[in-house]
Amino acid sequence: MIERTMYTAAGDDDTAFIPGSSVKGAVHTALLERLHIGKRHVCEDDDLWGKGFEKRPLRLLKVGDFMPEAPVVMRAVSAKRLAKDARGTSGRKEGIPMAIETLWPGGYRAFSSSWTIEGDRSESGGADAYVDFQRIARDLTAFNRPKLETELRLLDVDPRAGDWVRRMREILGSIDPLLKRGDMALLRVGKFQGALSLRLSASDEKPPKMQTFVVNDSQVLPFGWALLEFRDEVSEPLKAWCRAWPDMQTVDLQALRQARREEETRRREEARAEVERRKAAEVAEAAEEARLAAMSDEKRRVVVLEKSLAKYSGTVNPGSDLFRAVQVLLREAATWANIEDRKFCALTLAPLVKERGMYQGKAKKELKELLNKLAGD
């Protein structure tokens, strides 16, 4: 079983997305961190602003879901909870491996969201309400960057982290002015970001010793780090950094699902056509049985022979069983008392006798005479 990432489902299609509520929750935590600077214990929301949603400063912030700008590349990885200490991550104490679906790293502007700051700040809590996105971005970075730096130090001594630490420090140096201005924000979201990422500095709770990491292809990587951009201008260093991630061979799941749907549709149509064909055959068979039942015995014998001639391919030569059957029936038909039965025999068999090349040899004259006699009665 693979634990899936968050996705929207529409029929057989699904699209990964990042819930706006998760990101707003990260903003809430970052705001609390700023308000708790210098404090020795964590205050509850009700203690800071009073009871009721209408008193919360973040009621004025609307964060839409982050939807993909292009098809999102996903991958399945193995993840474990690894022990962490001052020496870094240690393989001496590891959790049970979990199969998890994740986004392929390095996606540049892979998701977008609509944010709005609304209304009236006059209510309780309004003094702490945000008035611009740059303040939000700076709070997010102020809360998350120390945690990322701590994680980088832990991973720096773990050879399984590869060059991830170096690359992260490289991009942080390139975008540092943007982070400080609030044009970008450092963010961590997702189920496996770890309890430490949600812990306020003022918390007196014991820091967790375990965190979930990707353990894939002998690498150890953390979950959930992302950058928020609050400007349209492209950061070329960031774009180049994202593009430098190695490509992976991907499977277009939407194309596969579309092909599967088309194949299923084709099979359903074929099955429906087969059912209709069988029903039509049954109706035709019932009609034929009714037609035969209404006929005289003589006409039924003609029809049976007609079907045998129609099924036969090629020439019906003298001496064959089918040729003799035609001769016998025509001779007997000449003695039938009912004129209509005799004419029916001639009109039914004459075209087939000619079509099967039966006018040959000594029997040619007899066949013509019998058919002419039956038809002329």
The position carrying tokens 């994680």 is: 151
The stretch 20-43 carries a mean pLDDT of 84
Q: pLDDT band for position 260 (50/70/90)?
A: confident
> Where is average pLDDT lowest: 152-166, 276-290, 337-351?
152-166
Burial group, residue 143, by CB count within 10 angstroms (0-12, 13-18, 19+): buried
Q: What is the pLDDT of residue 325?
A: 92
Digit-coded pLDDT (tens) for 232-250: 898 999 999 888 877 655 5
pLDDT of residue 317: 92
- Of 108, 107, 95, 111, the C-alpha closest to 220 is 95
Which two three-digit tokens encode residue 157?
Answer: 């001594």
DSSP assignment, residue 147? H
pTM: 0.62
Q: Exposure of 278 by Cβ count < 10 A (0-12 exposed, 13-18 middle, 19+ buried)?
A: exposed
Averaged pLDDT, 259-278: 91
User: pLDDT band at 254, cuts 50/70/90?
Assistant: low
195-207 pLDDT, tens digit per residue, is 566 667 766 566 6
Q: Which pLDDT value is given to residue 86? A: 46
In this predicted structure, which of 38-52, 205-219, 249-263, 300-314 has the lowest mean pLDDT? Answer: 205-219
**What average pLDDT does range 280-308 have in this prediction?**
90
pLDDT band at 283 (very low <50, low <70, confident <90, very high): very high
Least confident of 13-22, 262-271, 289-298: 13-22
Provide, rounded to the nearest whole percent, the portion of the chain with pLDDT above 70: 83
What mean pLDDT do residues 283-293 have?
88
R_g of the chain computed on alpha carbons: 42
pLDDT in tens, 56-93: 888 889 999 998 888 777 777 777 766 665 455 544 55
- pLDDT value at residue 223: 80
Residues of the chain above pLDDT 90, percent: 35
Tell me what pLDDT residue 135 has.
94
Summary mean pLDDT of the chain: 82
234 CA to centre of own chain: 31
Which of 56-65, 165-174, 178-187, 194-203 shows the lowest mean pLDDT across its residues? 194-203
Q: What is the pLDDT averaged over residues 225-238?
A: 91
> Helices in the chain by DSSP H: which ranges?
20-35, 45-49, 133-156, 164-181, 236-243, 253-293, 297-311, 321-333, 339-355, 363-376
Arithmetic mean of pLDDT, 1-22: 75
> Is the per-residue pLDDT at 266 higher than 80?
yes
For Cα atoms 268, 272, 276, give the angle at the middle one, nearest 5 degrees.
170
Q: Which pLDDT score is estimated for 271?
A: 93
